[in-house]
Structure 1
Amino acid sequence: MFIQKIQAGDGTTTGLCSEDHAIVMLRRAVDRRFPLEATRTGGLVITRDVWSTGSSTPSRRTVSLEPAKPLGVMTPTMRQDLEAIADSDRAYRVDKAEMPFRDRVGRIMLGFYSVPPAAARRLVERGMVVLGLPYEDTSHGRLKEIRTPVRVVLAARLAMLAADHRTSTGEPRGYVYPADIGMSGTVGLCKPGRRSGRVYDGSSVASCTCGWSQWTEDREVARRVAREHRREMASAALKRLT
């Protein structure tokens, strides 16, 4: 469940949004190539321009989704477990087992990998995974087990996506000697303020934790480029998700 906030030219409205409805909005936004951005709290921001009859400029419409139940801090161990569950096509929790496999009870099974009972319980309590309907199966071909399907919720996937693409911008170097920035033969301004012979370098680098980086002419452009990178990565990842 998400808290949905819609901001438009005529005001702001707030309400609740189910995960199924959020996925429908997400698919529509991806298909129509609206700018998307995941948040570290497990939320999503969808932005689009709305054209009105008789208007020469569009109005901005923003839909923000935030988990109704905060996910809290996602530890590296939780992240590893969530990735394993998301990558598995048959993740389930063992709710009942016979000897000698009763130590499997409470574990989330993922083939050769499993999530211990305590860690599995935390994922459920924090709302990072959701449980399906229990069913009966057999372990090792003959021992009955009660199993419950497990899947990673959309909010947790969005939080992991945002954590993979944390961007930052570098502070401009200010006044430097021309030779230090490859401008040999150039002479800077000879003015008071300890700038004699130097030129102003306002360039800034936008970088991301995924390894991407790009130099720009100033920090404002770097912020814009970083935002565009986050949106591009979010659109590509969410397109695969939907």
Structure 2
Amino acid sequence: MFKQTQQHAGGVTEGTASEPAARMLLATAVRRGYTVEATPAGGALITWTRHLFGATDGAVVLATRSISLEPFTPVGALSGPTRDDLALIGGDRHAHYAEEDGRRVIAGPMWRIPAFATARLRARTLVVEDGDRVRLSLTARLGLLAQTHRTRTTEPEGFRRPSAGDPYGSAGLNRPGGRAGMLRDGSSWAVCSCGQLNGALGGTRDEARRLTREHRRAMTAQFVTEHLAPPTRATA
């Protein structure tokens, strides 16, 4: 279950969204080209821009709209063993509840999660029962996605001495404050824990931050398209 907060022309509306409603909301947002980003807590933020016309002069005004989904039980930090357990459940369509010494465990054909760990997964709403099987909750999947794509930007190098043969070396010769002969390098690397941004360089740190945001949003859109969007019907 999620707390749903929507920012619209009339102000802000708060309510709740079930997992099926949240899945449909995310799939619709991606299909319409809205920006969607998963959060480490296991929620998501949807944003889009509306083109409005001024009441008097008819000028076009851009207005940002948003819908946030916040889980009532945040995912929190995920330890290595917990991630391993979630990977077992998420990768096996035969995961189910079983009993072991009178206690409930999650099991697959070739593996079994101990009762204590099973109880913790249930208490944190990281797993849900879907018919005869156990699967990851949407909260768990969004949290795992966001925590897999933790981004950062590097500190710009700042002032540096030009290398030999640098055609722009003379540009810093008259700088005051002990910076004579130095050039300013404001570039910043955009880095993601998934390893896919290791070669992304921004001319400024703000540009590097933009690259990290675009990456997180692209990964969320890909996840929604591949795992949450309803299958398209084949046409004759």
The bucket for the TM-score relative to the shorter chain is 0.7 to 0.9
Q: Which residue of 2 aligns with 1:73?
A: 77
SS in 2 for 1:222: helix
The amino acid of 2:128's aligned partner reads: V
How far did residue 55 of structure 1 move?
Answer: 5.4
The amino acid of 2:218's aligned partner reads: E
The amino acid of 1:164's aligned partner reads: T
SS in 2 for 1:120: helix
Asked if the contact 2:42/2:143 (under 8 Å) is kept, the reply is yes
The amino acid of 2:32's aligned partner reads: R
Q: 1:228 to 1:185 in 2, by over 3 A?
A: closer
How far did residue 50 of structure 1 move?
Answer: 2.0
SS in 2 for 1:73: coil
Q: 1:241 to 1:104 in 2, by over 3 A?
A: farther
Asked if the contact 1:94/1:104 (under 8 Å) is kept, the reply is no
Moved more, 184-193 or 217-226: 184-193
Q: Cα RMSD between the aligned structures?
A: 1.9
1:60 is aligned to 2:43: no
The amino acid of 1:186's aligned partner reads: G
Q: Which residue of 1 aligns with 2:211?
A: 225
Q: Which residue of 1 aligns with 2:105?
A: 107
Q: Which residue of 2 aligns with 1:42?
A: 42
SS in 2 for 1:226: helix
The amino acid of 1:226's aligned partner reads: T
How far did residue 240 of structure 1 move?
Answer: 1.2
1:150 is aligned to 2:134: yes
SS in 2 for 1:5: strand
Q: How does 1:77-156 map to 2 (within 5 A)?
A: 77-95=81-99, 102-103=100-101, 106-133=104-131, 149-156=133-140
Moved more, 219-228 or 52-61: 52-61
Question: What runs of 5+ residues in structure 1 fail to find an aligned partner?
Answer: 96-101, 134-147
Q: Which residue of 2 aligns with 1:235?
A: 221
Alignment partners' CA distance in 2, 1:3 and 1:55? 35
SS in 2 for 1:84: helix
Q: 1:106 to 1:174 in 2, by over 3 A?
A: same
Alignment partners' CA distance in 2, 1:167 and 1:65? 21
The amino acid of 1:241's aligned partner reads: H
How far did residue 132 of structure 1 move?
Answer: 4.0
Pick from 184, 192, 195: which aligns with 2:176? 192
SS in 1 for 2:23: helix
SS in 2 for 1:52: strand
How many pairs were matched up?
221
How far did residue 185 of structure 1 move?
Answer: 5.7
How far did residue 107 of structure 1 move?
Answer: 2.0
Alignment partners' CA distance in 1, 2:157 and 2:146? 29
Q: 1:51 to 1:153 in 2, by over 3 A?
A: same
Q: Percent identity?
A: 38
Give the TM-score normalised by the residue count of structure 1: 0.85
SS in 2 for 1:107: strand
Deviations 1:105-124 (A, max 9, x none): 52211221221111011101
Asked if the contact 1:9/1:60 (under 8 Å) is kept, the reply is no
The amino acid of 2:148's aligned partner reads: D
How far did residue 86 of structure 1 move?
Answer: 1.2
SS in 2 for 1:122: helix
Deviations 1:20-69 (A, max 9, x none): 10011011112122111111000101111123355513311111101012
